[in-house]
Homo-oligomer: A and B are copies of this chain.
Amino acid sequence: MELVKIYECLCDLTRLRVLHVLARGPLCVCHFQAVLAEPQVKLSKHLAYLRARGLVSVTRRGNWMVYALPSAPPPELRANLACLQDCAREQPIFRRDLARLERLAPALAETGPGCCGPATRPPRRARPAAPARAR
């Protein structure tokens, strides 16, 4: 993987934040919305950009598109994502994202990365946990 391609992915704050929280585990778009406090359209676009360049992979689970980091990233990508994790520790915007992610953790534990909607919005209908986990 060309190094400059990686940096082209990292040079946007939204994408940087996406990759930073993704290191903690897979997420669907509506969880990204809650964690990053960004609109769906914006996130979808950036996720598409990352997907097109091999920085994230996506799996559909029913209504939910679940994004994850590549399971076997090339070494230069691995190194840069590790570097990002180290550096983000001291930066407020990334810490805030993680705080929001922690607040979501119970919901994630219950439904997995595909859920029934952002934590900020009450579920319209209860979703059974089983279908979300079934693959």
Contact = CB atoms under 8 A, between A and B. Distances in A.
A108 interface: no
A87 B8 CA distance: 15
A119 interface: no
A76 interface: yes
Copies of this subunit: 2
Interface string A52-82: 0000000000000000000000011001100
Nearest to A86: B79
A3 B83 CA distance: 11
Contacts of A120: none
Interface string A72-104: 000110011001101110110010000000000
Interface of A: 2-4, 7-8, 10-13, 16, 75-76, 79-80, 83-84, 86-88, 90-91, 94
